[in-house]
């Protein structure tokens, strides 16, 4: 019963959390108070990747019409999943596929079959056709795993840690030799993750920029100063409550399209990023090290090993 109550509360939170945008651009604060406490929802289980011959068979099996609909919408769906208008959903496909537990390509019948099974588990109409309701649920799940977001939806903006308790990364660990401040355990977790990524994927190891840090802790004062200096505060949002104030949020180099920076949220850049080996590896493995993603920004990850 306690579990069911927790689950009901979790879905109430999901519905609310899914409406919010939180990112490197700080979240609005204060936010509406939410009284129900959500049960923590674990990350989705790892998705096994079968050998190519078996994968081809598995990914060809499933509802064809749904697969065709997904193939079209993946490049053409006109929507605004994070308030800003976008076209298509390929940029979210790697994380979404992980959530629905498939290694099949998004336009394949196998993907549609896995999606339908996930929709059924989620109590959604099991059509196997990607839609807004699916994404809202997915987004709610990802937001619920971000402890910072779970606090902010309850109206809590955690105070920043004392800077003397933070650890500075080495120049060789930063993008462009930038050094960032993080909580020591978060920095240790990032180091373990990067070592594993380089050991497990030669393509990641081949470019020393991959997974280097370009932002960590940002003091609320510095964010406020930047907001004032740039004259761009996202309305009143920017200077208020960023996850980067916690010393647990990191921005990582996962690639950049020609002409864009590693933190540009321009759609062509985000699409480039989600196709890189570094990003694909993070989607599959970052949770092993306690990191959880923010789907809108492929470079932004938050460590969940300590309370914000
Ligand atoms: Zn960030």
Does the pTM surpass 0.85? The reply is yes
At residue 11, the pLDDT reads: 52
User: Which stretch of DSSP H or E encloses residue 284?
Assistant: helix 277-285
Ligand 1 centre to CA of 291 (Å) is 13
At residue 250, the pLDDT reads: 98
Pick from 18-32, 109-123, 276-290: least confident:
18-32
Cα–Cα dist 60/94, whole Å: 19
At residue 241, the pLDDT reads: 87
Distances (CA, A) of 279 to 74, 203, 228: 19, 11, 32
Ligand 1 centre to CA of 237 (Å) is 15
Ligand 1 centre to CA of 203 (Å) is 24
Ligand 1 centre to CA of 162 (Å) is 20
Ligand 1 centre to CA of 146 (Å) is 13
Inform me whether the pLDDT recorded for 123 exceeds 50: yes
Ligand 1 centre to CA of 286 (Å) is 15
Ligand 1 centre to CA of 23 (Å) is 6
Q: Give 173-191 pLDDT, tens digit per residue.
A: 999 999 999 999 999 999 9
| Mean per-residue pLDDT of the chain | 87
Ligand 1 centre to CA of 300 (Å) is 4
SS3 188: helix
Ligand 1 centre to CA of 12 (Å) is 26
Pick from 102-116, 127-141, 237-251, 287-301: least confident:
237-251
At residue 50, the pLDDT reads: 87
Q: How confident is the model at residue 234 (pLDDT cuts 50, 70, 90)?
A: low
Q: How confident is the model at residue 222 (pLDDT cuts 50, 70, 90)?
A: confident
Ligand 1 centre to CA of 143 (Å) is 14
Cα–Cα dist 46/183, whole Å: 27
Pick from 51-60, 148-157, 225-234, 262-271: least confident:
225-234
Cα–Cα dist 187/168, whole Å: 9
Q: Give 152-162 pLDDT, tens digit per residue.
A: 888 899 999 99
Cα–Cα dist 43/202, whole Å: 26
- 84: β partners: 82
Ligand 1 centre to CA of 218 (Å) is 10
Ligand 1 centre to CA of 238 (Å) is 12
Per-position DSSP letters for 56-96, written without gaps between them = HHHHH-S-HHHHHHHHHHHHH-EEEEESEEEE-SGGGHHHH
User: Which stretch of DSSP H or E encloses residue 252?
Assistant: strand 249-252
At residue 66, the pLDDT reads: 98
Inform me whether the pLDDT recorded for 21 exceeds 70: no
Inform me whether the pLDDT recorded for 169 exceeds 80: yes
Ligand 1 centre to CA of 134 (Å) is 25
Ligand 1 centre to CA of 174 (Å) is 14
Cα–Cα dist 61/151, whole Å: 42
**Domains recognised in the chain with CATH numbers:** 2-150 (no CATH), 159-303 (3.30.1380.10)
């Amino acid at each position: 019963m306690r579990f069911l109550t927790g689950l009901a509360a979790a879905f109430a939170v999901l519905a609310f959390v899914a409406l919010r945008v939180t990112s490197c651009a700080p979240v609005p604060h204060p936010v509406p108070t939410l009284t129900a406490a959500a049960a923590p929802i674990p990350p989705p289980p790892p998705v096994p990747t079968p050998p190519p011959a078996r994968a081809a068979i598995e990914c060809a099996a499933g509802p064809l019409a749904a697969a065709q609909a997904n193939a079209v919408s993946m490049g053409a769906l006109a929507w605004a999943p994070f308030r800003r208008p976008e076209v298509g959903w390929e940029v979210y496909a790697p994380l979404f596929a992980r959530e629905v537990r498939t290694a099949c390509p998004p336009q394949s019948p196998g993907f549609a079959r896995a999606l339908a099974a996930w929709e059924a588990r989620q109590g959604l109409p099991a059509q196997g056709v990607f839609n807004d309701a699916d994404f809202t649920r997915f987004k709610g799940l990802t937001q619920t795993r971000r402890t910072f977001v779970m606090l902010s939806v309850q109206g809590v903006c955690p105070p920043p840690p004392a800077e003397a308790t933070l650890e500075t990364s080495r120049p060789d660990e930063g993008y462009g030799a930038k050094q960032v401040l993080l909580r020591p355990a978060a920095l240790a977790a990032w180091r373990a993750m990067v070592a594993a990524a380089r050991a497990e994927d030669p393509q990641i190891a081949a470019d020393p920029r991959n997974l280097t840090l370009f932002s960590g802790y940002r003091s609320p004062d510095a964010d406020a100063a930047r907001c004032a200096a740039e004259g761009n505060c996202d309305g009143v949002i920017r200077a208020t409550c960023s996850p980067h104030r916690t010393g647990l949020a990191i921005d990582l180099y996962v690639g950049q399209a020609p002409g864009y920076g590693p933190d540009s949220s321009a759609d062509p850049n985000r699409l480039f990023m989600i196709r890189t080996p570094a990003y694909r590896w993070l989607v599959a493995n970052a949770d092993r090290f306690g990191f959880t993603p923010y789907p809108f920004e492929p470079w932004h990850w938050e460590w969940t090993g300590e309370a914000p």
